[in-house]
Amino acid sequence: MKRLRKNNTGNMDEPLLLAFGLLMLFGIVMVYSTSSIYAEMRHGSHLFFFKNQVVWVMLSVVAMFILLKLDLKRYAVYSAPLLIMVVLMLSLVFLMPSRNGAQRWLMLGLINIQPSEIFKFVMIFYLAFSLSNSKRNIGDLKQLLFPYIPIIGIGLLLILLEPDLGTTIVIFLSALGLFFLAGARIKHLLLGFVPFAATASIVVFGLGYKKARILDYLDSIIDPMQGSYQVQQAALTLGSGGLFGVGLGDGRQKQFFLPYPHTDFVFASIGEEIGLIGLVFILILFFFMIFRGLKIASEQPDRFGYLLASGMSLSLFLNIAINLGVVTALLPVTGLPLPFLSYGGSSLLISTSAVAVLLNLSRRVTLK
């Protein structure tokens, strides 16, 4: 039975908070374990990535406390102008130096920010607030196209051109899911999917972005060892851990065999060091977190809370699923980090903020 708490002062979802805390703590440990050798060789200190991650953890916790104090519905009215500001930030990344052939970061002195992560978060707020308006008939194609398609479409195009196909897919599918939950017709959603798929195909096969990765992926479907070097090493890393792993900190593949062992492929490194048992525990934590998020959504007393909690849960799920799909050779390499476990400030900050929103919304209801 749903029961709205007055002034958002109810107890937050403690099981969700516990799952989040365990993942965060484990992520800090694994960032150090998987990055120390590379950090020593590249930056002269085995603590380089670890210290940076600790700073981002503290910033993320501060962001969480702030979001827990806010009346989300009251401040959601500012989501539209904020989304426009983020689109401008996405435009500025093309003035920044390229890193690994991509321009995804705003470099602000000692801090690098990935605006695409912020766009994903703010877009969910914007859609939840706008689609919860009782005067909007989302079943009408015209009201579906405007104002959503222009602003979201421009953002997606900029992210795709960075290029960042993985984040583009997560944002697009998150938006599609929210439109569906808000009552959009399936045939209208398909009309939006076709041009997106066509544009992505042109970028990949016409402009050549990650074309080799797609072809390697097709080879890896038959045999992971026939895929790209990254896929091969990920398969070897996962398999070498066995049931219980080789021991925390004792992984060998991170010694310049597995690319990005502390970012995109941290799940493979974890599998090597703590084995299948450890991976199953992590998957349970992820599953439980998404389950609690959906539970919070289903208990919301209004449409805004339902869409906001659903959007945050869906976005987290898509990030987790795509990363795990890449590591296990089920999907092409996309460059998406694993929430809470991969090294990276923007991803950690936004993923933590998504959990903070869910915890905030959980205070509005009594959960069983």
CA distance to 69, 72, 97, 113, 330, per residue, from 93 (Å):
32, 29, 8, 10, 31
Average confidence (pLDDT) over 39-61:
93
What percent of the chain has pLDDT above 90? 57
pLDDT of res. 367: 62
Domain boundaries, the chain: 6-362
Nearest-CA neighbor of 319 among 186, 209, 164, 101? 164
- Torsion sign, CA atoms 257, 258, 262, 267: negative
User: What is the pTM for the complete model shown?
Assistant: 0.90
DSSP state of 112: E
Q: What is the pLDDT of residues 180-223, one digit of tens each?
A: 999 888 888 887 777 777 776 676 665 555 566 676 666 666 66
Q: Assign 293 a pLDDT band (cuts: 50, 70, 90).
A: very high
Fill in the amino acid letter for 137: N
pLDDT of res. 139: 77
Contact residues for 62 (Cβ-Cβ < 8 A; gap 6+): none
Highest mean pLDDT among 83-92, 217-226, 233-242: 83-92
Q: What is the pLDDT of residues 102-149, one digit of tens each?
A: 788 888 777 888 999 999 999 999 999 999 988 888 878 787 778 888
- For helices 266-298 and 345-362, the axis angle rounded to 10 degrees is 20
pLDDT of res. 296: 97
pLDDT of res. 97: 86
Average confidence (pLDDT) over 339-353:
95
pLDDT of res. 331: 83
